[in-house]
Amino acid sequence: MDSIIVRGGRPLSGRIRIAGAKNAALALMPATLLSEEPLTLTNAPRLSDIRTMTELLRSLGVEVTQLQEGKVIALSSHGLTSTRADYEIVRKMRASNLVLGPLLARCHEAVVSLPGGCAIGARPMDIHVSALEAMGAEIELRDGYLHAVAKGGLKGARVPLRFASVGATENTLMAATLAKGTTVIENAAREPEIIDLATCLRAMGARIEGDGTPTIEIEGVDRLRAATHRVVSDRIELGTYMLAPVIAGGEVECLGGEMRLVQAFAEKLDAAGITVEETASGLKVARRNGRPHAVDVVTEPFPGFPTDLQAQMMAMLCTAEGTSVLEERIFENRFMHAPELVRMGARVDVQGGTATVRGVDRLKGAPVMATDLRASVSLILAGLAAEGETRVNRVYHLDRGYEQVEDKLSGVGADIERVRAA
């Protein structure tokens, strides 16, 4: 397996271009299943998860063409050949479950394997199932597959979500676009990726109001049309690279960054003594004076602090002045990076869903192992601040969510390289 080697102690300076959002693209791509007409996505990220979704859609008969080195994805579902999403593909990525709602809406049936992905918590499918059942679907779990049928098509309904799940909101939103009547999603997720999906669906002819609020109303239409849509910037990649100069020192401008995507995160940086400045091209980040200060963090659904930035924030707080407390309220089992940071000299104590971090003057390079996508990049960030060499092993997770991470960081002065597996 590939490894990433980081030699710390070099301040950063320059610009990093932020890619299109992985989590937005993975919801936008299945939207093609809702229409026989083509859907074109621009500003697409070039990631292994995108390749997995491409593989899944092609297995259903979708034509997928990548243009401009993968930054443009052209999709056409005019000739679907299957409504079955097999385990061998779905097991690689949890977002594969987002074909369930569109297939039910257009084909009135679907057989979808239970999903896989990072081992950071259960993330159960019951919220998705309950939502689609409220719209008239009959769903049964057999042999690890959800067998779903909507005889006569889905029907508009009131759909209260017990948790503001992003995936369940996306599945329900897509399914409702072709349902008969009006669907109201209550306690809907409010993430920018939801707004991006709704914007794309409206361009395809859907009638949607309230995205970005807890209540989304969708009036079903008979068919959707062709559209071209630009994928929103990736707020998690943005937050990750905003932390790089905080940890390593220096100043970095994140091109394409928007404050609206990371407001709660930026407020925590400000409290830690970090300057975040909006520019004509993005966001510029630098320390105000010396080491950052300790801050407490609680992960929450958007617009709160993102769980997908918790590991990276912990890496930064390991060298902050004072003691910080991080509380993880979204996923269980998401502090697996903490023992690896301790190997680098960090002082982190984990008790259940809470981690206490006591800042140290400096981390020390060490061999560490990545356990999931965000943990991978948190260890790379920690390596930027460490004395000596840090070798991050098992970085196959990294390529699921970050494109060309070595190139982007080395482009602003980091000493970082990938060592290919023999």
235-248 vs 263-271: helix axis angle to the nearest 10?
10
CA distance linking residue 308 with residue 9, whole number of Å: 26
Listed in sequence order, the residues at least 6 apart from 82 whose beta carbon sits closer than 8 Å to its beta carbon are 59, 60, 61
Q: Is 23 annotated as a binding residue?
A: yes
Give exposure, 101-139, as e/b (b: 16+ Cβ within 10 Å). Answer: bbbbbbbbbbbbbbbebbebeebebebbbbbbebbbbeb
Is 222 among the annotated ligand-binding positions?
Answer: no
Residue 118 bears catalytic tag: yes
49 marked as part of a ligand binding site: no
Find the catalytic residue in 118, 200, 254, 318.
118
Specify the residue for token string 């479950």: 97
333 is in an annotated binding site: no
Amino acid letter for position 200: C
71 annotated binding-site participant: no
Name the residue among 163, 128, 135, 170 with its Cα closest to residue 29.
170
Quote the distance between the C-alpha of residue 334 and its chain's center. Answer: 15
Q: What is the CA radius of gyration of the chain?
A: 21
Active-site amino acid positions: 118
Residues forming the annotated binding site?
Answer: 22-23, 94, 308, 330
Residues forming the annotated binding site for UDP-N-acetyl-alpha-D-glucosamine?
Answer: 94, 308, 330
Residues forming the annotated binding site for phosphoenolpyruvate?
Answer: 22-23
